């Protein structure tokens, strides 16, 4: 491993010596070689030299206040330039050359697509602006931008940068120019430009405060027809932010551009969002229902950043969750309003458990606000995003809707145009309401998932039910001792018949309401309910009121009661998950007659024909947690084959209990009324069809495959077709189905990603051969992040029995590929490497094989800082 890069520490933050008030850029764009002239007006009250970050830049000119700087007045350092003699109000001018077509990292200015047909674009967050020009590349330096783009008109007919348009025209030699002015001060990570042959759809939008805005969605020819859904979603998001937070858009135009070459999901650049095509383009023949919802969610997320992130940005990258946790929370609320709220909550919580709880339990565990990093790119994590959102949700819940809005108003008003901290956020929310929220800071600084133990005791003589809550957070790397954190526990009590009881806490004069939020603010708390007629069944942590692991010794029949009768759809699901997880534990230990298994199967068998139940919720109820989440229940010596076998047994028992006939006829009934429409009812039916077909496959594989075959041939929507393909890949028609799908979709990159992923996901040791063969498919390339994640990411993350095959070949395969990918694109390699996350807890043979593969990779010489950081932490 190379000498480890230096640590950046939150405790060492200091305000910048020099600030930049305005940036003027002139960019001459060309695929092979682009030139960027930048003039910075800087301010400071110091004698210290001015430091400008720069990376992979060829410096052609450097001037201070109009004079070319002599060599003696500046130095090139490892990270950029150091310039002497700068004064308050000085203007620094640089001219640099960069090579977009050679930029495989997809950070800075790069080429999307082929050299003759593709387009140029930028990606700056977190530290990519320094790959475009010399600049103090830190989010607390905010400036206004005037950007002039120049390029050949035929090759680059469309020129875009963030801000309002400020003129355009022709130059000689077939070139043209366009200028953009962004009046809102912004950090450089929000800078963006795009140039090339793009098409657009436009819509006129008037904001609530009366501004006329042109919304433009841009894509390459052939894809522009697939932007309509995103445009509608954008308009919904804009209206929602006006109504819910009183936030209006603030420029005359809003551009969104789709690219197939992108490291992340999407980017909120001011006035010029850039999207991974998979989160912008949608079409019935190409996109699943899930993908439609993702498009809606990501369009909203990026738009919401205009306030939570752009108008109010982060002081430093340790505060990343200030914008990301908050914006995820805003998106989750929006999506819940647009769709089914309980289903949205179920999806978000299962993602949290699958991605964040597992991250928090492994070597890469870190707080929502980390205290140090080597490479900030590695902190765009489930913890910063998803757990960060849960923290905002807890605080919003603590305040209640009205006070939360009041607090948010103060936050936006107080910090508009500013770079803020998490303390600022809590202070604004608290001060607006006279409430001290500083105890919540403990959540931000502490890694690990708290365990919440609940003990219930009923005193029949006193008619009193005492709930004792106790918290404990397991140690995480570098944080052996944990403090208690405030935990809001939303609670209801049920009688044995499944009716909710009115609640009267000790000290209250009479019973009122059926739900309470108990605030646990120390290690232990006791909550006494009075006038409880009989021993109740507690429904705890309703709606997942805090991101903790709940431990309560429920009787299986009590969980079955909640599964049947809790009006909180989320907690119904949570009760079912607890039952199935316990049944899983038993099956793993060889016990197929556990009370939990029986209660789960019986409960679902009787709900199966309940016509009142939303089919989407039923679908969620029928599916136990994913293998990777179930594996978290095992302390040590995880055997992924045993995990899968136990989970399959779980599904088999359920399918048998429901019965093959009922599964077949339910599927056929759903299919008989199927449409390809996107309305909620049609989507819910498709979701249920998936669950039913998977169950059916366990008991009557022939019957399931027959139906999958018919579905594959007839489906007019991607949700059904992909389900059919996934099923068929497990049977004798695998090759035929794969080639039929390939033939149909070979020209659609987003559909081809699903084709690769579906094959990588087929469980079992033999899939490695398939994945290796697919590397040689004409459509595969290590240069495209989506393709890499589709094939290799799916294999490593969503196919435990494939990746973790007992002989360790999966590990050696992946690490060999990681070395190749790292040489092209460090961010993609580092992200993929996190698939090794749980390796410590594997059984000894696999553990050793995984360790050896990681150690071999880590001993290589030319590792990027990104990958080296992940490996170092994973191996510690
Ligand atoms: N800021 C983006 C978002 O969450 C994510 C992103 C990070 C994109 C870094 C690109 C680079 O909305
Ligand atoms: Zn974001």
Q: How far apart are CA 409 and CA 242, in angstroms?
A: 12
3-state secondary structure 504-551: CECCCCCCCCCCEEEEECCCEEEEEECCCCCCCEEEECCCCCCCCEEE
Q: What are phi and psi of 520, to 5 degrees?
A: -90, 110
How far does Cα 748 stand from its chain's mean position? 24
Active site residue: 24, 127, 296, 302, which one? Answer: 302
Mutate to test the pocket of ligand 1, among 121, 261, 266, 273 (most ligand atoms within 8 A of CB): 266
What does the pLDDT read at residue 4? Answer: 52
H/E element holding 110? strand 108-112
Q: Which atom of ligand 1 is nearest to the CA of 305?
A: 12
- 3-state helix, strand and coil shares in percent for the chain, rounded to the nearest 5: 45, 20, 35
Mutate to test the pocket of ligand 1, among 189, 380, 786, 866 (most ligand atoms within 8 A of CB): 380
Encode burial over 418-451: b for 16+ CB neighbours within 10 A, e otherwise.
ebbbbbbbbbbbbebbeeebeebeebbbbbbbbe
| Cβ–Cβ under 8 Å, residues 697 and 763 | no
The average confidence (pLDDT) of the chain is 98
Task: Identify whether 302 is a catalytic site residue.
Answer: yes
Q: How far apart are CA 555 and CA 552, in angstroms?
A: 9
Contacts by residues 865-868 (CB-CB < 8 Å, ≥ 24 positions apart): 865/5, 865/374, 865/375, 865/826, 866/375, 866/377, 866/378, 866/822, 866/826, 866/827, 866/829, 866/830, 867/818, 867/822, 867/826, 867/829, 867/830, 867/833, 868/1, 868/2, 868/4, 868/5, 868/374
CA angle 490, 492, 497 (to 5 degrees): 155
Nearest residue by C-alpha to atom 9 in ligand 1 = 125
Reference 538, options 590, 581, 491; nearest CA is 491
What does the pLDDT read at residue 5? Answer: 66
| Cβ–Cβ under 8 Å, residues 122 and 132 | yes
CA of 236 to the centre of ligand 1 (A): 21
Nearest residue by C-alpha to atom 3 in ligand 1 = 267
What beta strand segments (E) does 239-318 contain? Answer: 253-259, 266-267, 272-276, 312-314
User: Strands 272-276 and 253-259, how do they pair?
Assistant: parallel
Structure tokens at 605: 């068998």
What does the pLDDT read at residue 1? Answer: 44
Q: How far apart are CA 607 and CA 188, in angstroms?
A: 54
Q: How far apart are CA 205 and CA 207, in angstroms?
A: 6
Q: Is the CB of 384 under 6 A from ligand 1?
A: no
What does the pLDDT read at residue 421? Answer: 99
What does the pLDDT read at residue 488? Answer: 98
Q: How far apart are CA 322 and CA 421, in angstroms?
A: 7
Q: Which atom of ligand 1 is nearest to the CA of 128?
A: 11
What sign does the CA torsion over 606, 608, 609, 611 have? positive
Reference 573, options 660, 691, 652; nearest CA is 691
The percent of residues above 90 in pLDDT, for the chain, comes to 99
Nearest residue by C-alpha to atom 1 in ligand 1 = 267
User: Strands 119-123 and 253-259, how do they pair?
Assistant: unpaired
What does the pLDDT read at residue 3? Answer: 43
Q: How far apart are CA 534 and CA 247, in angstroms?
A: 49
- The angle that helices 228-245 and 289-304 make with each other, rounded to 10 degrees, is 50
Q: What is the pLDDT of residues 548-566, one digit of tens each?
A: 999 999 999 999 999 999 9
DSSP state of 386: I
Q: Is the CB of 380 under 6 A from ligand 1?
A: yes
Alpha helices in 432-521 (DSSP H): 441-445
Encode burial over 278-312: b for 16+ CB neighbours within 10 A, e otherwise.
bbbbbbbebbbbebbbbbbbbbbbbbbbbbbbbbb
Q: What is the pLDDT of residues 330-360, one digit of tens each?
A: 999 999 999 999 999 999 999 999 999 999 9
Would the pTM count as exceeding 0.90? yes
H/E element holding 862? none
Q: How far apart are CA 256 and CA 26, in angstroms?
A: 22
Q: Is the CB of 349 under 6 A from ligand 1?
A: no
- Contacts with 136 (C-beta within 8 Å, 6 or more apart), sequence order: 16, 18, 20, 50, 51, 52, 53
Structure tokens at 337: 């309003």
Q: What is the pLDDT of residues 623-643, one digit of tens each?
A: 999 999 999 999 999 999 999
Nearest residue by C-alpha to atom 8 in ligand 1 = 267
Structure tokens at 232: 């509608």
Structure tokens at 550: 């709940």
Q: Report residues of the chain scoring pLDDT below 70.
A: 1-5
């Amino acid at each position: 491993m190379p000498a480890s890069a230096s640590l950046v520490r939150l405790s060492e933050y200091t305000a910048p010596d020099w600030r930049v008030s305005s940036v003027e850029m002139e960019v001459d764009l060309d695929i092979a070689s682009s030139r960027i002239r930048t003039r910075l007006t800087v301010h400071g009250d110091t004698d210290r030299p001015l430091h400008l970050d720069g990376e992979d830049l060829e410096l052609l000119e450097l001037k201070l206040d109009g004079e070319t700087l002599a060599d003696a007045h500046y130095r090139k350092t490892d990270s950029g330039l150091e310039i002497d003699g700068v004064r308050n109000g000085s203007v620094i001018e640089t001219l640099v050359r960069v090579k977009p077509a050679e930029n495989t990292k997809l950070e800075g200015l790069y080429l999307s697509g082929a050299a003759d047909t593709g387009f140029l674009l930028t990606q700056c967050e977190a530290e990519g602006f320094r790959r475009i020009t010399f600049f103090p590349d830190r989010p607390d330096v905010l400036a206004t931008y005037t950007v002039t783009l120049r390029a050949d008109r035929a090759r680059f007919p469309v020129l875009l940068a963030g801000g309002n348009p400020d003129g355009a025209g022709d130059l000689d030699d077939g070139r043209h120019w366009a200028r953009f002015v962004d009046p809102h001060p912004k950090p450089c990570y929000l800078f963006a430009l795009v140039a090339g042959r793009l098409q657009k759809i436009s819509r006129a939008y008037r904001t609530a405060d009366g501004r006329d805005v042109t919304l433009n969605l841009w894509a390459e020819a052939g894809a522009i027809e697939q932007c309509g859904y995103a445009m509608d979603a954008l308009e919904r998001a804009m209206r929602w932010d006006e109504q819910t937070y009183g936030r209006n858009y603030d420029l005359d135009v809003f551009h969104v551009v789709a690219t197939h070459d992108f490291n992340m999901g999407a980017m909120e650049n001011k006035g010029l969002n850039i999207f991974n095509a998979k989160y912008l383009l949608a079409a019935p023949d190409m996109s699943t229902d899930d993908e439609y919802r993702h498009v809606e969610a990501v369009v909203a997320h990026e738009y919401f950043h205009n306030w939570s992130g752009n108008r109010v940005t982060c002081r430093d990258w340790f505060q990343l969750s200030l914008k990301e946790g908050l914006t995820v929370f805003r998106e989750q609320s929006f999506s819940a309003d647009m769709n089914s709220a309980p289903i949205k909550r179920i999806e978000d919580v299962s993602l949290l458990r699958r991605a964040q709880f597992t991250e928090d339990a492994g070597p890469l565990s870190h707080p929502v606000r980390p205290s140090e990093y080597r490479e900030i790119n590695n902190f765009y994590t489930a913890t910063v995003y998803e757990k960060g959102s849960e923290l905002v949700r807890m605080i919003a819940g603590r305040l209640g809707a009205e006070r939360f809005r009041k607090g948010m108003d103060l936050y936006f008003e107080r910090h508009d145009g500013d770079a803020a901290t998490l303390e600022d956020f809590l202070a604004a929310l608290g001060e607006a309401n006279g409430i001290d929220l500083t105890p919540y800071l403990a959540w931000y600084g502490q890694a690990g998932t708290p365990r919440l133990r609940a003990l219930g005791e009923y005193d029949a003589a006193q008619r009193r039910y005492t709930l004792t809550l106790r918290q404990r957070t397991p140690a995480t790397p570098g944080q052996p001792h944990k403090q208690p954190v405030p935990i809001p526990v939303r609670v209801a009590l049920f009688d044995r018949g499944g009716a909710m009881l009115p609640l009267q806490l000790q000290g209250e004069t009479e019973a009122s309401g059926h739900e309470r939020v108990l605030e646990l603010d120390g290690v232990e708390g006791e909550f006494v309910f009075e006038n409880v007629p009989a021993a109740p069944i507690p429904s705890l942590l309703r709606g997942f009121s805090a991101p903790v692991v709940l431990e309560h010794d429920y009787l299986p029949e009590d969980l079955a009661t909640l599964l049947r009768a809790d009006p909180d759809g989320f907690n119904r699901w949570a009760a079912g998950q607890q039952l199935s997880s316990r049944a899983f534990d038993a099956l793993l230990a060889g016990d197929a007659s556990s009370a939990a298994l029986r209660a789960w199967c019986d409960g679902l068998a009787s709900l199966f024909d309940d016509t009142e139940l939303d089919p989407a919720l039923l679908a969620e109820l029928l599916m136990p947690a994913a293998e990777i989440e179930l594996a978290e229940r095992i302390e040590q010596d995880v055997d992924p084959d045993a995990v899968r076998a136990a989970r399959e047994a779980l599904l088999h028992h359920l399918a048998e209990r429901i019965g093959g006939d009922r599964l077949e006829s339910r599927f056929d009934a759903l299919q008989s009324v199927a449409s390809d429409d996107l309305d909620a009812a049609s989507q819910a039916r498709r979701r249920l069809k998936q669950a039913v077909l998977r169950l059916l496959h366990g008991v009557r594989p022939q019957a399931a495959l027959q139906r999958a075959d018919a579905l594959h041939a007839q489906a007019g929507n991607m949700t059904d077709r992909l389900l059919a393909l996934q099923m068929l890949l497990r049977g004798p028609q695998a090759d035929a189905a794969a080639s039929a799908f390939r033939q149909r979709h070979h020209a659609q990159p987003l559909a081809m990603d699903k084709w690769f992923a579906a094959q990588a996901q087929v469980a079992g040791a033999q899939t490695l051969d398939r994945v290796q063969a697919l590397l040689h498919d004409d459509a595969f390339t290590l240069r495209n992040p989506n393709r890499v994640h589709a094939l290799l990411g799916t294999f490593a993350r969503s196919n435990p029995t494939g990746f973790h095959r007992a002989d360790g070949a999966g590990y050696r395969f992946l690490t060999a590929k990681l070395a190749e990918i790292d040489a092209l694109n460090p961010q993609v390699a580092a992200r993929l490497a996190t698939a090794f996350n749980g390796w410590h807890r594997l059984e000894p043979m696999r553990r050793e094989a995984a360790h050896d593969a990681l150690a071999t990779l880590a001993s290589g010489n030319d590792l990027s800082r990104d990958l080296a950081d992940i490996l170092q932490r994973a191996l510690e």
